[in-house]
Amino acid sequence: MNHFTQFESKELGQELLELAAAYKANPQLHASKGEGKRIGCIFLNPSLRTRVSTQIAAQQLGMEAIVLNMDKEGWALEMQEGAIMNKITVEHIKDAAGVLGSYFDVLALRAFPSLTQKEEDVTDFVLHQFIKYSGIPVVSLESAIRHPLQSLADQLTIQELTKGNKRPKVVLTWAPHIKAIPHAVANSFAEWTLGMGHDLTICHPDGYELDPEFTQGSIITNDQSEALQNADFVYVKNWSAFNEYGKILCTDERWMLTEAHLKNSPEAKVMHCLPVRRNVELSDEILDGPRSLVQQQAYNRIFAAQAVLSKLLG
């Protein structure tokens, strides 16, 4: 594994899940593996969980973590080749990523999509610029189209709650939101859930079809009630339209998951990556009740990151 930016294979996924479970059982298992190594965590966008869990994960491997909030503390980056930099950008990605590559052993990057420049976003242009010019292993802390550390933690959570050889029914359900939200969490959840061999049903209002690259093999429906029947895991997430790129097409609050939606799903556990807009995406009664896995998911972010960094360290 040279970089960690997406789902690669079921074998690698299983290896990372086993390692994450081992670190959860004993966080100090390889406490000196990363001694003398540094990870640079570069944030072009805000974060709570990803920032802190990645730092804890690095520390538990004996690695030094340095965080740079590039959006607030760094120079405005120019991404275009051959740009005449006489406007607001101050430093070219070639120069910045080259320097960061010489300071660190691993680079971790959060770079959200524009939700306006579809062609750039779907190729994960910013992430690939950092990979190209840093010359060191790169971990995605959420890119324009994927959030693989979140998905690894989510798969660990599903694995922990799945009893015996049961094939769980996993549902990804769209939720309303007041802002246009990226597709990364939904894409990655689909990519990893299907990749790890689970059945996945995705439900959303008309017009919210995700990029088929991520959803091939799932059942896709506009009927939320039918999708939720007898579900074991219900992942709640908003995303903006993909075809009408970045648009908000629906604000129908009937899509917000409440206890009433789960009357025919007695076993259903509810997942969300957080941050969540309470009583917009998900009701208080679910978030504060026994179905909610959101705290377990967030805690598992530490061990997902620790497994990935450990694998990259070799």
Residues found near ligand CP in the complex (CB under 6 A):
47-50, 142, 150, 273-275
Please state the closest distance from residue 276 (CB atom) to ligand CP, in A: 10
Please state the closest distance from residue 106 (CB atom) to ligand CP, in A: 18
In this complex, which beta carbon is closest to ligand CP, that of residue 185 or of residue 262?
A: 185
- Dihedral sign for Cα 237, 238, 243, 245, please: negative
In this complex, which beta carbon is closest to ligand CP, that of residue 29 or of residue 66?
A: 66
* Contact (Cβ atoms closer than 8 angstroms) between residue 274 and residue 298: yes
**Residue 167 CA neighbour count, 13 Å, CB half:** 6
In this complex, which beta carbon is closest to ligand CP, that of residue 16 or of residue 184?
A: 184
In this complex, which beta carbon is closest to ligand CP, that of residue 155 or of residue 265?
A: 155
Please state the closest distance from residue 111 (CB atom) to ligand CP, in A: 13
CA 277 – CA 261 distance, rounded (Å): 18
In this complex, which beta carbon is closest to ligand CP, that of residue 51 or of residue 169?
A: 51
Please state the closest distance from residue 285 (CB atom) to ligand CP, in A: 22
Please state the closest distance from residue 192 (CB atom) to ligand CP, in A: 14
Q: Could you check whether the bond before residue 168 is cis, i.e. omega within 30 degrees of 0?
A: no
Please state the closest distance from residue 273 (CB atom) to ligand CP, in A: 4
Tally Cβ neighbours within 10 Å of residue 18: 13
Cα first-last separation, the chain? 9
**Residue 251 CA neighbour count, 13 Å, CB half:** 6
In this complex, which beta carbon is closest to ligand CP, that of residue 130 or of residue 189?
A: 189
* Contact (Cβ atoms closer than 8 angstroms) between residue 46 and residue 297: no
Please state the closest distance from residue 110 (CB atom) to ligand CP, in A: 8
CA 282 – CA 276 distance, rounded (Å): 7
**DSSP letter string over 185-226?**
HHHHHHHHHHHTT-EEEEE--TT-PPPHHHHTTSEEES-HHH
Nearest-CB residue to ligand CP?
50
In this complex, which beta carbon is closest to ligand CP, that of residue 122 or of residue 274?
A: 274
Tally Cβ neighbours within 10 Å of residue 179: 9
CA 82 – CA 210 distance, rounded (Å): 33
